[in-house]
Amino acid sequence: MKIVFATNNKNKISEVQSLIPQNIKLLSLEDIGCFEDIPETQSTIEGNAKQKANYIKERYGIDCFADDTGLEVDALNGEPGVYSARYAGEQKNAADNMAKLLSYLKNKNNRNAQFKTVIALNFNNGLKTFTGICKGEITMEKRGGKGFGYDPIFKPLGHEQTFAQMDLSLKNEIGHRGKAILKLITFLNEYVR
């Protein structure tokens, strides 16, 4: 079975590739010749994931899944949420986003947060979603050099390391994207037996 993962983010592709079984061939947007920016104009994480999956299916006719992920911080009423990637501006710079978030939390005692991933699968002319959540807290400063996005300032519940300090296998096991992907894989495995 071949399926497209609708992202240009090479970090996400490598994370997901390590979880997908060998009997499912994961294609990137580059693999199908999609080089345009896929719209993300919805007001929710779920809405953006659906929009991206539908865009690829409609234009390329290939089964596809897309994800959208947001960091939701309690003390900021769920911000940055759907705007996580462009929190500090359209340049989508992770360092700028983290600096803005840390400055907003400077005098806050409540640093509870969660990462939320929604995967939308456009498959066999149907649309399904799979959600993964990882609860944790925002650290006082950046720690670690692995991962991407907000990983250096997010410490999952029950762990002392940030995502940026963890091995990829542990991050996948406990993380939001890994949880959503496992639900997706369970669903897809019903079709590839």
Q: Which residues are catalytic?
A: 68
Is the bond into 156 cis (omega within 30 degrees of 0)? no
Cα separation, 148 vs 132, in Å, equals 18
Contact between 71 and 81 (Cβ < 8 Å): yes
Query: How many CB atoms neighbour CB 112 within 10 A?
Result: 14
- Note the pTM of the prediction, 2 decimals: 0.90
Cα separation, 153 vs 150, in Å, equals 6
Reference 129, options 70, 61, 52; nearest CA is: 52
Domains contained in the chain, CATH given: 2-189 (3.90.950.10)
Residue pLDDT, tens place only, 132-189: 999 999 999 999 999 889 999 999 999 999 999 999 889 989 999 889 999 998 898 8
Reference 68, options 9, 151, 156; nearest CA is: 9
User: Most confidently modeled of 9-13, 26-30, 113-117, 186-190?
Assistant: 113-117
